Chains A and B, each alone.
Chain A
Amino acid sequence: SAVISQKPSRDICQRGTSLTIQCQVDSQVTMMFWYRQQPGQSLTLIATANQGSEATYESGFVIDKFPISRPNLTFSTLTVSNMSPEDSSIYLCSVASAPGSTDTQYFGPGTRLTVL
């Protein structure tokens, strides 16, 4: 499986500010995804990061709040904008080599965000 890194691993931020999280993969992958895991909860898909086009957002998530970039097949960023304490969560990127049922998703180590 691919080796996935995320930066930063954790951060404490003030409300109203923004944080950009980076996801780097050691090999080219077709699909990259961003998830959120709130305290004590399971994973919720935020969006699919599409290379060369706009991200595809899930219901309840919007581009103004969570802008995403995917400049190439090994890198993506997620920005959490105008943060509030409710954004405190673990943010995870995941990758898959191909869409659909022929491949599996692997997760990065996550970014633990605390908003004060």
Chain B
Amino acid sequence: QKEVEQNSGPLSVPEGAIASLNCTYSDRGSQSFFWYRQYSGKSPELIMFIYSNGDKEDGRFTAQLNKASQYVSLLIRDSQPSDSATYLCAVERGSQGNLIFGKGTKLSVKP
């Protein structure tokens, strides 16, 4: 089983809709979870991080964490064409900050 799994997509949603991106992880001891956005040809940029079970909201973005199910998701409300990118889920392994990345989900928001 891969450490961090994501659907590769592409996930296509119409402008204004909610985009839902999902991620599962294998290490039950993981404590920290991150979502990065990567535009084509650019480096990843941090969108959100979450440490506690439940929801965490920041503007149009909501991260959801369920440690019992080893599941983390990212919701993007009122999706915009500028949200079109690859979204990378990352899980911290160990205590030294090492991040394990999923393969990413490519999101396409259609005008």
A residues neighboring B (CB under 8 Å): 1, 31, 33, 41-45, 48, 56, 58, 90, 92, 94, 96, 98-101, 103-110
Contact = CB atoms under 8 A, between A and B. Distances in A.
Contacts of B31: 101
Contacts, number: 61
A104 B43 contact: no
Chain B CB within 10 Å — which of A94, A99, A101 has the most?
A: A101
Given A42-B103, A104-B49, A33 B98 contact: yes
A99 B23 CA distance: 23
B46 A105 contact: yes
Contact of B98 (A1, A48, A104, A110): A48
Interface in B5-42: 31-32, 34, 36, 42
